[in-house]
Structure 1
C-alpha cells in the first residue's frame, strides 16, 4: 500500500492505493507532513485532484478500489452518476437504488465513502435542500458545492 499526503484548499489530503487502484482519499483535520516525493502509483490521482481544485476537471478517470460491503459498493457506484455541479437527495438516491425505505442505510453508506471528492458524496443533500451530514465537515461540503456551482458568487469590489 502506497500513501501520500498533499495540500488541498480544504486541508491536508491523504491518498492510499496500490496496483489494484486507489483505496482511500480523505481530508484530515490534522497537519501531517506533506509527501516530498509522490509514489508513482498515486501520481495520476494527485494530478487529477489538483486539476479538480484548479477548476480544470469535472470527472475523474482513476482505477478505484474502495473496500466495503456489496450495499456500500452499490451506493458508491450510484454516487458516481451524479453529474458535476448538481445535487441529489438521500431520498432520490434510495429511490434510484430501488428501495425508498433504505434511506438511512443509503445515508450511512454515503458517510462511509472512502474516496473523498472522486466518489462525490458531497453532492447529496437533504430533501429540504439542507447540507446534512458530511464526514469531512459541513464547511467543506459547502465549499465543494460552491466550487462546482455554475453560478459563481460575484464580488462588488
Structure 2
C-alpha cells in the first residue's frame, strides 16, 4: 500500500508541475495561431505568387534541360553519322530554299496586288463616266454637222 501511495504522490507532483506550465503553453499556441492567421489573411497572395513563380521556373528549367539534351544528342551522336547529317542538310535546303521562298514570293505578290487594287478602284470610278454608252441625243451628235 505504501508503494502505491508513493507512486500516487509522485504522479500528483508531476501533474502539478505540468499544470503550472500549461497556461504558458496554451498562450504560446494561441499566439502562434494568431500569427498564422495574420500571415494567411495578409500575405497569402504573395506567398502563392512566389510559389507559382518557383514552380514555373522549375518547369522552364526542365524544358531547357530537355532542349539542351536534344541539341547535344543531335550534335554529338546523330551528326557523327554522315548519311544522317546529309539527310538533315538536304531537308534544310529543301525546306528553306524551295518551300519557304516560294511562300514568301506568293505573299509578296498578293500584297502587291492589294496595294495596286485600291488606286485602280479609285481610277475606275473616276473614269466610269467616260465609258458610258452615249444616247443619240448627245452633244457630240450635233457637232457632226460641222464636219
More strand by share: 1
TM-score w.r.t. the length of structure 1 is 0.15
TM-score w.r.t. the length of structure 2 is 0.16
Q: Which has the larger radius of gyration?
A: 2
More helix by share: 2
